[in-house]
Every structure is written in C-alpha cells, then in structure tokens.
Structure 1
Amino acid sequence: MSFTRALTRRLNGFYSVAPLTVITIAAVVAVGLALLTTLLALSQPWMGIDFDRSYDGAGLRVLKVQDYSSAKGKLASGDIINAVITPAHEQVTLSALTLEEDPDRLSTYAQYNDFFAHQQKVFEAINTPNVTIILLDGRTVQFNATPFPTLRALSLDFWWLIFFGGASLLLGVSAWSMRPHDAVTRVLAISGVGFMVGAYSCAIYASRELMLPAQLFITLAAANHLGIMLFAYAAVLFFWYYPHQFGNIPAAWVYVLGVLTLWLNETLQIFSWPIHAFYAHFLMAYTLLFGLAILQWRKSRGMLVERAALKWLMVTILVSLGATVVLFYVPVILTGSPIASNVLTFGSVFLFYLGLVIGNIRYHQFDMDQWWLRAWQWLMFLLIAMIADALFIYFLHVTQSVSIVLSIGVGIFYLLTRQWFWARLSGSNSQVLSKSLPQWEDTRSLQQQGISSEVQWDQQIMRIFNPIKLSKLSEPCTQTTFGADANILNVPSLDGLHTIEVFCCEKGKRLFTATDVGLADRFLELMRRSHEAAVSHERGVQEERQRILRDLHDDVAARLLTLLHQTREPEVSNTARNALRGLRDVIDRMGTEEMTLAEVMLDIESASREQLNGIGVLFEWRAENTWPERILNSTIHINLRRIVRESIANALKHAHPETVILKVELIAQELCLCLCHDGKLVEPTQWIAGRGLNNIKTRVAEMGASHKWGIVEGASNKQYCTLTLCVPIS
C-alpha cells in the first residue's frame, strides 16, 4: 500500500507540471532520441553504392557509385554484384531479398529468421578492412567500407521518418499536457510515443545501405513492432472513449495486456497467425476500430456538434489508417510486396495527427481551443533555430560529430534563453498584480457603458491571468478554489450562482498558485462593490426618469389636452394634437426600452391607418402575418414611426395621392420598409429639402440605416414615388 501511495503522489506531482514545460520536455526527448538514432545510423558500415531496388534479377545491380566511395573507379553503373566473401571465405549470394526494406513483410517466422541470418553474414563480409565482392561476370573487386561520411549520405526516407515520429510524439503529448486526467488525451499521448518508437527504429533499418548486424536489426524490428502496436491499438482504444465511453470495464488494462501479449508472441515466436505472422492482427484491429466508430456514431444520434466532430475524426482516422491497410498490409499479405513504401505508409498514418490539429481548430475537440497553434509556434521557433545554427556551424566546416552536438546544443540554449528573457520582459505575474490592488478604482468597471458586470468580470479575469480559455459551469461557487489540477482555477461569478473555470494561466506557461486564489477573491470583492454601485446608480436613474414621466404626463400632457378640447381654431387644434402625439412618443421612448418586432410593426401600421383615416386615401399594408422573435430598441422604434409619419405627411401635402402603400419585409439582418404613393409626382432630384426631409436623413443616420427616394412604374403604367428604408437589426 505504501508503494501504491508513493506512486500515486509521484503521478499527481507530474500532473501538476505546466503544459508548456511538458511540451518542452517532449521536444527535448524527441530531439535527443532523433540525435541518437542519427548517430546509430551513421555508425554503420558504408560502401557508397546506390543499388537499383527495382531490379529483380540475379544479384544486385549498381545504380550509382558515390564520389567519396573507395569503390569509385572499381565499380560502375550497371555492374551486378553477385556475392560477397566473409572473413571465413564463405561466399554469400546477394539478391533482392538482401535489400528488403522491412523484414515484417515476410509472412512466416522461418523466412524472418533466415533473413536476419543472411543479414549477419553480409554484415560480416562488409565490416572488414578489405571488402571482397564477386560480380556476375566473374570479376572480383576489393575496396574499403567506412562509417557514413556525412549527414547527406543518409537517405531522404530517414529524415522523413524522423520528422513523422518526432512530430507525432509532440502532438500526442501536447494534447495530454492540457488535459492530463482525460482518458482520451492519455490515449493520444501513448499513441504518439508508440508512433515515434516505430518511426525512429524503422528509420535506421529501412534506410540502410545494404545490411545491419543481426542483433541490432532484430532489436530495431522488435521496437518497431511494439511501437506500431501501441499506436494501432491506441486508435481502437480512442474510439472506445471518444466521444462517449462504452461501459466501465478497465479498457486501458485490456489494451496494455493485449499489446504486451501480441508483442511477446511475435518476439518469442510462440504462435503464428494463419494469414500472415506479423500483419494479420492489424486487419483485426482495423475492423474493430471501424466497428467502434460506427457504434459511436449511433450513440451520438441527435447531438449535432458531437456528430460533426466525430464525422471529421472518422474521416481522418479511417481514411489515414485505411490507406495503410489498403496500400500496405493487404498487398503484403496477398502478394508479398506493398504498393506504398514504409515512408508513405508512415506519412499516411501521420495524417491522423494532422487531422486532430485541424479538427480541434474547426470543432474545438477535447475542449482545448487554440492552444495547438500557440504551442506549435513556440516549437517551430525551436526547430528553425536549430536548423539555422546547424547550417551555420556546418558551413564553418566543423567536424561531423562536433557539428551535430553543437548545432543541437546552440539551438536549444538559444531558445531557452529567449524564453527566459521574454518572460522577464513581458510576463506579468500574480505578485505584480497583487501590489497594484491598492490602486484599483471601484469605478473602473462603470466606464464601460453598455457592458454587463458579468462580462466585465470575465474581461478582468482574462486580463489578470491571461488564460487559454474561460468556461461557465452551472454549479454554484462561493470562493475561488483549484480545479482537478493546478492548471484549472474555479472562480465564482458575481452572483455566486455559477462557476467560472479558468484554464491554463499565462497561456500554459505556469501553474496557478495560492497567491492566484487570494488575488481572484480580492478582485471579486472589488468587482462586486463596483456592481453594487452600478446597480444603485441605475436605480437612481430609473427613479428620476419615472418622476419626469409623471410630470410630463400629469402636467404637460394634461395642459395640451385641455387646449385641444377648448380651442375652436383648426390650426391651433392641429398644432396641439401634433404636440400631444410627439409628447406621447417621448413618454413611450423614456418608459419602454425595448419592444418586439411584431409590436413595432403593429404600432406603425395602426399609426399610419390613423393618420390616413377619413381623408379619402386608400391605405395598403403589405407585411408578414407573423414576425420572428426580434427585439428592437426604442430608438429604432420611434425613428421608424416618425419617418413613416413624416413621409406620409409630405405625400399628402405635395402629391395629394389616392393610394399609399407600405410594404415591410425582413431580409437577413435588415428590416426593409418601402413607402409608395401615387398622385402628382416630381423627380426627387428636383425637391427642395426642408425640415421634414432633413429630419428623415438625421433619423436614418441615427439608426445606421440607408434610404433612397425614387419614382417607379407600377401596374397599368402607373407611376409611384417610393421611399426605400433598410435598417440593420440583430
């Protein structure tokens, strides 16, 4: 029990490491292992001969002899090497099998073992001071084999596999570093580790010139088997957990024990699969993967967002791994030779990780948002710095081993120094913010007019901690606490009814501390005081507004109404009626902040009918019977009503129309009104703008709208004057 508790404490401590630190460690590991892989590849015997891998006749055909090879001048393009002589004077015949890129393609354990025995004999023949080869024409040639002279002697396939393996490790570990307790991200991390092990080990033997010592070759092949199994069955486990876990069985333990069983079986050669000793179970894994994907699809029925993300993942995983099955495993099982090379196969699998990046940006999978881009910007700088320094040292003609060590060392030191310097210059921390608390003014939040206090609180949290994201949880919260780990801080909302989950402080550069907890609580207290002050201020404004409205209604409106009933002069009566109507608009505007679109349309229609009632003008209202649930503020409401009223008044005064038509429709995010009338029409370009037209222009500008006057031809060649008004609404 004490051992278990100690292990648990160590794991929890590792989970508390900042994400950027984890990614940095992963990058160092990937680069370090890539360096060791490169040194191991460079240490193997090298003859400087390129062989024609498409040749399937007897022996091996020379394609090219490198300029710095000791065989230069002794062998030429087109020569066919039939055999090599071992130090024990044994003649070892060479064939296309000697150049086999991957021994896993051999279908039985017997062929597999014979291949390594053959490789060992060829290695013994080549790894001698004087290599003796026999050509197909009977000639004997001797030359010296040396270690690989330069990095350029390694094939392009080698570097592609190193890239695929290192990048996959970083992507998988990056996902896990942000959500270390999430089973899905753990699976991604394990798959990344496995893929790197498989790619790095394959890089050595797939890009070999001719042979490797048998024991090293067997070890690399076993490592490749384990890595690819870890990746392949992690993909199966991925669909067990994502997006909904199937059952409560210990799937992770089944995965671990299953992979170890398969790997030990292949390594110890206990049981041979009936179709192919090495690849048959991968077809079974892909079938299982496909089945789980279908079940997850059915389980997410009715969940549109999850289905969209799952669709992307299914396409990415099933296509990338499906291409591997179709282009590599199936052709090897059926014919003994794949359609795609090892590099293309690893590249197609790497699309799985690229799909995770793109899918996360598009669908916010695993709740990690844009951290991929930020983390990879940092890592790309590491890569660029290393390449630049490596090239710089290389062109100074430093020796090979010194060049590799110094280029990598300078690149890492340069980046770490830059990060340290940048953090000291631009990284504000909790201590600095804590010292600035006395200078905080309670009225600061009130300076942001039109923004709610809850939104201001969210903005303050973003400024204080600079997190990757904020999430609103429904659980009530009374004080700031840590979340599942030190990457998460749970902060109360202003009303305490919700929890604000703050994810990754300083974009993942550091963990939250007890100082951050106290800092958040102090800022919360200040924000609540500011909120209370804002509420009190708004309450006072509303009370004063109601007092003014009562005075206008009880005093000014009553006086105008009395004047309207007592006067016998039509001009005075009209002026009083218009003044009373305008006062009613002011009272409505001050008393009602918002109305629905349907209510505004009903008000405009009734006001227009009232204005034209009893004067012999036909009014047509053309609009929808039902309106969507849109809210309009009082400014738009009053301005629309007054523009329509003023336009109708101008038509009655100048055109004496018989018909007035008001057409209203909602197009996308714009409310469009078209007022038409007949009568005595004059081109709008000839109008002399008075107070009415100028008022219309002012009200249009106040709403941020657009308007246009014109004359159009209607039915029976009848002309109409039109005012088209388009108002943007949200």
Structure 2
Amino acid sequence: MSLIAAGSALALALVVLAVLLAVRQPWLGLQLRMEGPGLRVTAVAQSGPAAQQLVPGDLIVALEDPALGRLHAAGFEPALEPHVLASYQAYDARLQREGEFWAYLQQPHFTALLDNGSALSLAPRAETPVRALPAPFWLFHLFGMVAWLTGLGVWAFRRGQPATRLFLLSGLGFFLATWSNSLYLSRELAIDPALLAALGQFNHGALYLMLGSLLGLLLYFPRRLVRRAPAYILCVLGLVLVLNDHQRWWGWPLHDFYFPILLMYFAGVLAASWQWRAARGRPLDRAALRWMFLSVFISTGMSLMVYFVPAMLQRQLLISQTAMVGFAVTLYLGLALGILRYRLFDLERWWFGAWLWFFGGLAVLLVDAAVVFVFGIQPVAALGVSVIAVGWVYFPVRQWFWSTFAASGQEQLEDHLPTLVGGLLAANGSADMAHRWCRVLKNIFHPLDVRWVAAPSAPCLVEQGARMQVPVPGSDQGLELVYSQRGARLFGRRDLDMVRAMLTVTEQAEKARTAREAGAREERRRIMRDLHDDVGARLLSLVLGAPDEKQADRARAALRALRESIFALDDEVRVELLDCLDQWQLEVEQRLHSVPTVLEWHCEGVPGVSLCARQAINLKRIIHEAVSNALHHAHPSRLVITATADQHSLRLRVNNDGAERRPAGQLPGRGLHNMRTRAMELGGSLHAEAQGDGYQVRLSMPLGQTREQDDDA
C-alpha cells in the first residue's frame, strides 16, 4: 500500500505541475473554431478580457499589430493535434504558424479584425484562471491516472513477475502521454512553439514507451516466449524512433508519426498469435489471453479505425482525441483483469459476444466509409445504406458463427437426461450409483482427469475454473474434474448450474429408486413369509410323515433348498465369506466320500470379507455345478478348489486332472450356461476351458462390503 500511496502522490504532483504550466498561458476568455476565412467565436467567458467586445458567432479573419503587422487567420485550427499532420514538413510548418499567433499573445494588446470590417482591441491576460481550463485538460489527467494507478496496483501486488513490470511501464507511458497532451490540446489560441515541440517529443516518447511495453507484455505473458535480449531490442528501437522524430533521419509511408504505431499494432497481433499457439492445452493461460485480446485489440483496434487510420489517409477524424484516449484507457482495466486472472470462469459466456459486437460496429463503420468515399453518397443516406447492408449480410453470418463456435463445448442437460435417469434408476447400491455418476460426468464434460476428494457441500469451482468439485449422491466422497473438454476450456458458472440441475434430478431418481426398492423388499418379505409358513410347513409334514427313509431324505433336501431360496431373498443379511467356504468345503468333501477323487481346498486373503445372501447362494451353486460337471464328465483323480479374495474382488478356480468326456458334436449343457448367468448376476465373469491334461473353471467377481464396513454402516 505504501508503493501505491507514493505512486499516487507522485502522479498528483505531476498533475499540479501541469496545472501550474497551464495557468501561466495567456488568456482571452474565448473558445475558437476554424471556419471558412477565419476563426469563429463559439463561446465568450463573462469575466474574460474579450467579454465586452466579442460575442458568440463573430468571425475573426485576421490579427493586427503595429510591430508584427497583419496575420490572416484562414486555415488555422487552434486546438489541432500537430501529430495528425502526415509529414515532418507539415508539422514544422504548423510550429511556425503556431509561433506567429503566439507572438500576438505576447503583446500587451492587439487588434482583431472581423469579417464585417470591425476592428476590436484585445488585451490578453498573463495567466489563465484554473476554472477556465477546458474539460479535456481534466479528462486527460483522469484517464492518465486510471492507467497509471491500474498498472501500479497490479505491480504492487505482483512485483516478482516481468509481466507486471511491463504493465507498470505501459501505464506510466500512458500517463506521461496524456500529461503532455493535456497541456497543448487545452490551449486557447496558441502556445509557445518551443514548448509545443518539446511536449510533442515528450508525448511521442511516452507513447512509444506505452506501446513497446504492451508489445513486451505480449511476449512475456502468460508464457515467456523470448529471452531478455529481445526486450532490450524493443527499448533500443523505441529510443531510435524518438530520436528519428527529432532528427528526421528518415520518413515513413503514409504518415511520419502514426505509421510506426500501425507497425507496433501488427507486431502485437503476431505476438498474441504466438502466445495463443504456445498456450495450447493450458486453459488458464488461454483465458487470461482472452482478456488481453479483448482489451488490447478491441480498444487499440477501434482507436486505429476511428482515429489513426483516418489521420493517415488524410480523412476527417471520426472521433476527437479526447474520446479516443478515453476509449483506450479501458485497455488497462482489461489487462489488469487478465494479469490478475480475476473471474476468468465468467469469460466463456460473453467472449464471442464481445468480439461479435466489436466486428458488428466495425462493419457498419467500414461500409459507411466505403459508401461515402467510393460512391460519393451523402453521410446521412450512407449511414442508412450501411446499416441495411450490415443487417442483411453481417447479422446472419454472425448468428451462424455464434451457433457454430460459441456453443461448441457447451453441453445441454437435456441431451444427457435419458442416460442420467436410466443409469441412476438401474443403479445397484451406492457404489454402483457413484460409478454411474462418475461415468455421466465424464461423458458430459470430458475432463482431462477425475479424482476422488472429500465431498463438497455443493458443486464449486477451484483455481478460477481449472477444476470443478462435485458431490457424489449417497456418498461421503466427491469427484474433482480437471479441465473441461479435454483441456480446451475452463469450467464456468454454466457448468455449475448444469451440475446442480443434475443433482436435483439425481435426488428425484434416488427417491424413486429407494421407493422401488422398498416396495420390492416388502414384496420379498411377504413371499418369504408365505414360503416359510405355507410351503415350509408342508415340506416339514412330508419329512415327518414319510413312509421310508428315502422319501424322508428327499423331503429334507427339498426343505433345505426352500430355506436357501428364502435366505437368498433376504437382502439385509450378510454372511462371512470364510464361514461360507468352510461350509462349502464340508459339502464337497461329503460328495467326494463315495468316489476316488482327492480334494485340495485353498483359501487366500479371505478373512473379514462378507457376502450378501444372494452372493452366497450363487457362489455355492456355481461351486456345486462345477464339482458336478467334473465328476460327471471328467472322472478326475484330483480336484483343486482355490479361493482368493481381498476387499474388492473374489477369484475362484476349480481345477481337475481329468479330461472332459463330451460326445462329439454335443453342445455345452444348461449347467455351464447357468454358472455363467449366475456369474453375470454377481457382476463378474466365468470362463471354462481345457488346461493341460485337465479342465479349469475360473470365476472373477467384485465384492461389496467387508465386515468392518458393515459394522461402520
């Protein structure tokens, strides 16, 4: 803050110095405009020295003094910016003409000759009152202060960056240019030609400092494209341009003063194109560049079109220099936002709109100028023709351009609603929902990377839109998406709105899914009760009333199958995998008791893993069917069953050393088909194939919760 305070104090001191220099100029209390053969009086100050002699509307055709003679006023514009003159010769002639009028202002009094033959004696006052300083004087200082303080404020908080130093130098150049401009553009009739020449040289030096710094900024920000040597070369070139304005070593095409400015503009376009290409794959850098392009090329481009280009072509200026400088100062606000990377995620929405607005206005100006200069149509009629032509040609093209490019990369929620709702309704639990939610987000935004993070309370943007964090419905975790559209753009507010809408849809879908599952659960419970109370009771009666032991065993087997079916319907029950494997091992050993087959049973990493009832039943029946197939088709001497599990997956292998004996041409039976169907129901896969001299059945399936996770739940 001390740097900003010191810089502000220095700028205010220079403004005070400008006021002191301005008030020391002679004062007539007149506002004059070149018109016809002389100078038209447009306003007269009531307290001025000419208040009792001249009135608005009088036309001064000449000045006369006994010592200086008569000086005709035709062709002399008092407030002319000397640098709009195309050549050094015209500039020198203007300085000479300025000196002639200045000599009259140095006299105690002189005579003003009017077009009606009147001769009036005018006595200039030695100083100009502060209140009489014109509005452009104060506006130029205001614009300069805005540029200087903007550059100073950015540099004060980012002093370690070359870009901010260049931005500071550019703001300083702008301030010094407007400071000198304020003195000679606010003159009433004339100013000391030596002072005018010095101020003009100072103004051009400051202008080259501003433009050279901006060009250097485009070479250094957001990525350094060159080494330090080119920066020094820019300084040397700026110094050479200033010296050439003074020494006149060579002239320039079209305009000796403004042609170098045009060259700097095109050099800036090349540097910006280079930066844009170098920022490929870095959305943050490109977003900052968009701010710079908007500020630099719209403000300077508009200034070129409405002020510098007409001056170079010796046409009438479309706006005053005060308006041009006021428009140019917006450049610094845009550059400050770009360098500080402020609210970059809001840029996508109106980036194309701003450019289309600029080109729309530019198209009207160009067509209007072409109609006036080429076809010679009056300006009022030409404006109507240009508006009609642009409306019929430009606006349809603009609409096509907007729909083609501005909307690219912007997804619409309705395009993804069917997939979103269908996937969420089909989700099988929270883990499956999180997986489907992640997949939908990937399909919509195509991020460079997706990471699991702590769940945010609501969707939010991180690092000005480089990353977007999104909560996962039904989970205590969240997803972080890195760069949208494979790194082509940042996330924006529109993306946040879309994700919020998706979360709302997801909540409704989750409610519908929960209601559906609750209804299904209640129906399963009813079926379980009916099976247990009715069918179970009847089977138990068959066991107790069986005429012989064989019939009783069949009834007991049916009763066990019924209990397993009832158990499979209960989705709230979980059993430990290790207990299930022990039970299944005993059952397989009992089946092998009457055959000459040796069983080897291996379990790895299974403690703490739990299964739901349906998983347990499907696994049991897969093992049962695999053992049955081996005994029926292969008659093995050795059967090896291996179960390997962790918290996320289970792998089961059933190997036998017998060769499967299937008649030629016989297709696989229902047993293998049922095993694969059960594996798919478990979310896994099953493969059965010959291996060496034997046969192998392999199952791989994902697991849900561990016992510890069950306890936490």
Query: Relative to 1, partners in 2 of residues 1:231 and 1:638: Cα closer, same or farther, differing over 3 Å?
Result: closer
Structure 1 residue aligned with 2:436, among 618, 623, 626?
Answer: 626
Q: Is the 8 A contact 1:87 1:128 kept in 2?
A: no
Shift of 1:604: 7.3
Q: Is the 8 A contact 1:201 1:224 kept in 2?
A: yes
Shift of 1:624: 9.4
Alignment of 1:59-138 (within 5 A): 59-86=38-65, 88-138=67-117
Q: Is the 8 A contact 1:317 1:352 kept in 2?
A: yes
Name 2:168's counterpart in structure 1. Answer: 189
Shift of 1:147: 4.0
* 1:673 is the counterpart of 2:511: yes
Q: Is the 8 A contact 1:236 1:289 kept in 2?
A: yes
Q: Is the 8 A contact 2:24 2:128 kept in 1?
A: no
Q: Is the 8 A contact 2:180 2:200 kept in 1?
A: yes
| 2:163 partner SS | helix
* 1:248 is the counterpart of 2:227: yes
| Bigger Cα Rg | 2
* 1:37 is the counterpart of 2:18: yes
TM-score, with length taken from structure 1 = 0.49
Q: Is the 8 A contact 1:87 1:124 kept in 2?
A: no
* 1:202 is the counterpart of 2:40: no
Query: Relative to 1, partners in 2 of residues 1:669 and 1:133: Cα closer, same or farther, differing over 3 Å?
Result: farther
Shift of 1:183: 1.4
Q: CA RMSD in A?
A: 3.2
| 2:67 partner SS | coil
Q: In the TM superposition, what whole-angstrom CA distance separates every residue of 1:400-438 from its partner, at most 9, and x where no partner exists?
A: xxxxxxxxxxxxxxxxxxxxxxxxxxxxxxxxxxxxxxx
Letter paired with 1:217: L
Matches of 1:191 and 1:95, distance apart in 2: 39
Letter paired with 1:673: K
Q: In the TM superposition, what whole-angstrom CA distance separates every residue of 1:68-97 from its partner, at most 9, and x where no partner exists?
A: 112122112221111112462321111343
Letter paired with 2:88: Y
Query: Relative to 1, partners in 2 of residues 1:323 and 1:602: Cα closer, same or farther, differing over 3 Å?
Result: same
Matches of 1:364 and 1:312, distance apart in 2: 10
Name 2:27's counterpart in structure 1. Answer: 46
Matches of 1:668 and 1:257, distance apart in 2: 63
Letter paired with 2:92: N
| 2:301 partner SS | helix
Q: Is the 8 A contact 1:79 1:135 kept in 2?
A: yes
Q: Is the 8 A contact 1:87 1:125 kept in 2?
A: no
Q: In the TM superposition, what whole-angstrom CA distance separates every residue of 1:101-132 from its partner, at most 9, and x where no partner exists?
A: 20001111111111111111111102221132
Matches of 2:191 and 2:46, distance apart in 1: 23
Name 2:282's counterpart in structure 1. Answer: 303
Structure 2 residue aligned with 1:27, among 8, 18, 23?
Answer: 8
Unpaired runs of 5+ residues, structure 2, are 345-422, 440-451, 456-472, 477-501, 523-713
Query: Relative to 1, partners in 2 of residues 1:251 and 1:76: Cα closer, same or farther, differing over 3 Å?
Result: same
Name 1:151's counterpart in structure 2. Answer: 130
Q: Is the 8 A contact 2:41 2:58 kept in 1?
A: yes
Structure 2 residue aligned with 1:213, among 185, 188, 192?
Answer: 192
Q: In the TM superposition, what whole-angstrom CA distance separates every residue of 1:152-185 from its partner, at most 9, and x where no partner exists?
A: 2111111110011122112212222223332111
Name 2:119's counterpart in structure 1. Answer: 140
Query: Relative to 1, partners in 2 of residues 1:36 and 1:679: Cα closer, same or farther, differing over 3 Å?
Result: closer
Shift of 1:56: 3.3
Letter paired with 1:227: A
Matches of 1:104 and 1:180, distance apart in 2: 35
| 2:166 partner SS | helix
| 2:147 partner SS | helix
Q: In the TM superposition, what whole-angstrom CA distance separates every residue of 1:543-589 from its partner, at most 9, and x where no partner exists?
A: xxxxxxxxxxxxxxxxxxxxxxxxxxxxxxxxxxxxxxxxxxxxxxx
| 1:50 partner SS | strand
Q: Is the 8 A contact 1:46 1:147 kept in 2?
A: yes
Query: Relative to 1, partners in 2 of residues 1:624 and 1:132: Cα closer, same or farther, differing over 3 Å?
Result: same
Name 1:271's counterpart in structure 2. Answer: 250
Query: Relative to 1, partners in 2 of residues 1:88 and 1:361: Cα closer, same or farther, differing over 3 Å?
Result: same
Give the aligned length.
Answer: 385
Alignment of 1:346-425 (within 5 A): 346-359=325-338, 363=342
Matches of 1:638 and 1:249, distance apart in 2: 53
Letter paired with 2:16: L
Structure 2 residue aligned with 1:345, among 301, 320, 324?
Answer: 324
Q: Is the 8 A contact 2:430 2:475 kept in 1?
A: no
Q: Is the 8 A contact 2:154 2:336 kept in 1?
A: no
Q: Is the 8 A contact 1:46 1:145 kept in 2?
A: yes
Query: Relative to 1, partners in 2 of residues 1:64 and 1:253: Cα closer, same or farther, differing over 3 Å?
Result: same
Matches of 2:40 and 2:102, distance apart in 1: 18
Matches of 1:605 and 1:298, distance apart in 2: 42
Q: Is the 8 A contact 1:131 1:142 kept in 2?
A: yes
Matches of 2:82 and 2:315, distance apart in 1: 11
Q: Is the 8 A contact 1:105 1:336 kept in 2?
A: no
| 1:46 partner SS | coil
| 1:626 partner SS | helix
Q: Is the 8 A contact 1:86 1:121 kept in 2?
A: no
Query: Relative to 1, partners in 2 of residues 1:129 and 1:93: Cα closer, same or farther, differing over 3 Å?
Result: same
Query: Relative to 1, partners in 2 of residues 1:121 and 1:302: Cα closer, same or farther, differing over 3 Å?
Result: same
Letter paired with 2:139: W
Query: Relative to 1, partners in 2 of residues 1:63 and 1:244: Cα closer, same or farther, differing over 3 Å?
Result: same
Letter paired with 1:50: Q
Matches of 1:35 and 1:324, distance apart in 2: 29
Matches of 2:302 and 2:106, distance apart in 1: 39
Name 1:223's counterpart in structure 2. Answer: 202
Matches of 1:272 and 1:70, distance apart in 2: 43
| 2:104 partner SS | helix
Matches of 2:120 and 2:272, distance apart in 1: 58
Matches of 1:333 and 1:198, distance apart in 2: 20
Letter paired with 2:21: L
Q: Is the 8 A contact 2:427 2:436 kept in 1?
A: no
Matches of 1:227 and 1:80, distance apart in 2: 37
Q: Is the 8 A contact 1:45 1:148 kept in 2?
A: yes
| 2:31 partner SS | strand
Query: Relative to 1, partners in 2 of residues 1:90 and 1:669: Cα closer, same or farther, differing over 3 Å?
Result: farther
Matches of 1:669 and 1:627, distance apart in 2: 9
Letter paired with 1:49: L
Name 1:491's counterpart in structure 2. Answer: none
Shift of 1:328: 1.0
Letter paired with 1:41: A
| 1:219 partner SS | helix
Letter paired with 1:27: S
Query: Relative to 1, partners in 2 of residues 1:359 and 1:143: Cα closer, same or farther, differing over 3 Å?
Result: same
Letter paired with 2:273: I
Q: Is the 8 A contact 2:154 2:340 kept in 1?
A: no
Letter paired with 1:294: S
Letter paired with 1:311: R
Q: Is the 8 A contact 2:22 2:128 kept in 1?
A: no
Name 1:259's counterpart in structure 2. Answer: 238
